A and B are shown apart, each in its own frame.
Chain A
């Protein structure tokens, strides 16, 4: 079965400290994995994606994620949190090209000044 597990529903960090948002996946196929960010009352913006190329993926706004097949993980990190990073983050998996994707439940990131 295909599934995406975001291990934390809420993460709180201080401004300027590192961010770690965790995502684990389960897939019968080699998946493509994505991180999206959603600000209140907005759509989802693509942060980065892994599609079987380099396992360390760099995205926008200083975010990056590493695909670890042995751990079935795709954690999102950022060295230094900014106030504007406060938002909801979704880990998403595509197991089959043009097919529908699988969403994680989302992680709400709070950044404390």
Chain B
């Protein structure tokens, strides 16, 4: 139980385009989901906390207009990277809370050319 999926697992896009990443809790409902970014050989950096039915809470330094988060249902949160640039290339990981435990998705590798 407690499975979180992400789609796509890999995405390559041109600079200036937008990319949407989906995060789904498959067998439980999650009021709260989190979006992280991970740089090579580093720990996860929290980007934002996504609450179902309300606006996301962004961490300091994260541009909310560039990283759009929507949590429209208890099983789905989406992260849209708008007008992507090469510096946005990274590994993006979501998690969903079940009680005190966060369950993580498999991650999405984004490469912006």
Residues of A within 8 A of B (CB): 32, 34, 36, 41-46, 49, 51, 90, 92, 94, 97-98, 100-101, 103-106
B102: chain A residues at CB < 8 Å are 34, 92, 94, 101
The 10 listed contacts between A and B (C-beta, < 8 Å) are A43-B107, A44-B93, A44-B104, A45-B104, A46-B103, A49-B100, A98-B97, A98-B100, A103-B43, A106-B43
How far does the alpha carbon of A100 sit from the alpha carbon of B42 in the complex, in Å? 18
Q: Is the CB of A36 within 8 A of B104?
A: yes
Q: Which residues of B contact A97 (CB under 8 A)?
A: 100
Are A51 and B100 closer than 8 Å at their CB atoms? Answer: yes
Whether A100 touches B101, Cβ cut-off 8 Å, given contacts A41-B91, A43-B6, A43-B106, is no
Complex contact A46–B101 (CB within 8 A): yes
Given A98-B31, A100-B34, A100-B49, also A43-B105 (CB < 8 A) = yes
**Interchain CB contact under 8 A, A43 and B104:** yes
Contacts of A51 in B (CB 8 A): 100-101
B101/A42 in contact, CB under 8 A: no
Say what secondary structure dominates the interface of chain B.
Answer: strand
Give the distance to chain A from B100, nearest Cβ to Cβ, in Å: 5
Q: Which residues of B contact A41 (CB under 8 A)?
A: 91, 107, 109
CA distance A85 to B73 in the complex (A): 36
Rounded to whole Å, the gap between the CB of B43 and the closest CB of chain A is: 5
**Interface range on chain B: under 10, 10 to 19, 20 to 34, or 35 or more?**
20 to 34
Q: Which of B69-113 contact A (CB under 8 A)?
A: 91, 93, 95, 97, 100-107, 109
Which of B46, B91, B105 makes the CB contact (< 8 A) with A100? B46
- Whether A104 pairs with B93 at a CB distance below 8 angstroms is no
Cross-chain contact B106 with A42 (CB below 8 angstroms)? yes
Q: How far is the CA of A90 from the CA of B46 in the complex (A)?
A: 14
Complex Cα–Cα for A80 and B35 (A): 34
Contacts of B26 in A (CB 8 A): none
Contact A98 B43 (CB under 8 A): no
* Complex CA–CA separation, A103 to B49 (angstroms): 15
Roughly how many angstroms separate A94 CA and B43 CA in the complex, as a whole number?
16
